[in-house]
Amino acid sequence: MSATDPLIDAFIEMLAAERGAAANTLEAYRRDLEDYAAFLATSNTTIVHARASDVASYLRDLTEKGLAATSRARRLSALRQFYKFLVAEGHIEDDPVVGIQGPKMGQTLPKTLSVTEVDRLIEAAKARIESTTGRERYAAVRLYCLLEMLYATGMRVSELVSLPRSVLQGDSRVLTIKGKGGRERLVPLNAAARAALDQYLALGEDADDGLSPTVRTKWLFPSKSAEGHLTRQRLGQELKELAIAAGIDPRRVSPHVLRHAFASHLLDRGADLRSVQQLLGHADISTTQIYTHVLEERLRRLVLDHHPLAKAKLG
């Protein structure tokens, strides 16, 4: 093991303890940093003695090896965070990554749906409830509830399907969600989502519908799966079926797309990026910044619609 390994270990421990990073994330950081350390070793350099030219050489080497721009950007991001940590902890004085430019990439925007398309999904879900009975109606009410909650909260699908029934305790206007890394956050429920949840819960209170044993379990959305609750795969399938009924290409609809719609529509209506970060449960605001194109478009429309010179040019 090299002398720099303890520094990588310390950084990984900080990510786990202070940021609650998931195991997969920690492993990815470790793998990237150890690869960087191995590259430096080929020229008899260490992490603490590396200069900007060494970092640039490493990035060039990754390019020559054919590593994708997105992967190179991820490696550079890991180095930025690592060296900031080393400076903050007093292991080095100068950060060699400062001023290093990342690879140029075309902006990859998250797939989303328009407000009109989400409304069509919701209307299709309501129509399915009206046209079904028995177990099919139970499934339809559940799907409508899940759809409203996804769009109202922006929860990750894994967070939603694994909600324990105990989440209903306390204020009915908010839910306490345990997200990545065990971090808890509060997510508000709007009136539509609360009404859909109440409709779903009421099914289990009707002694004649035969659903009480199914609904009253540890999980809010139970099923016969190995996990004991509805799976993310099953919810994805049901949403695609609903998309077909709503006349939307099913390839464009998924739980994650609805999460993107939640964030995009909030920003488009004036929400600030920091608030959306908190609602989505992102540990780092840089993750939320994929939505800055929404803010940029809103500002562009604001100028075109209200600036006198813009109106003059249009005239």
Residues annotated as catalytic are 156, 180, 256, 259, 282, 291
Q: What is the dihedral of CA 31, 37, 43, 47, to 10 degrees?
A: 160
Q: Which residues contact 266 (CB under 8 A, 6 or more apart)?
A: 154, 275, 276, 279
Largest CA distance in the chain: 76
Q: CB count, 10 Å around CB of 17?
A: 9
d(CA 195, CA 201): 10
Q: What is the DSSP letter of 242?
A: H
- How many helices and strands in the chain, by DSSP H and E? 15, 2
Q: Which two tokens stand for residue 142?
A: 């559940």
Q: Tell me how far the alpha carbon of residue 16 is from its chain's centroid.
A: 19
Give, in degrees to the nearest 5, the angle at Cα 167 between 229 and 175: 115
H or E segment and range at residue 160 = helix 157-161
- Which of these, 218, 251, 223, 216, lies nearest to 237 by C-alpha position? 251
H or E segment and range at residue 184 = strand 184-188
- The amino acid at 244: I
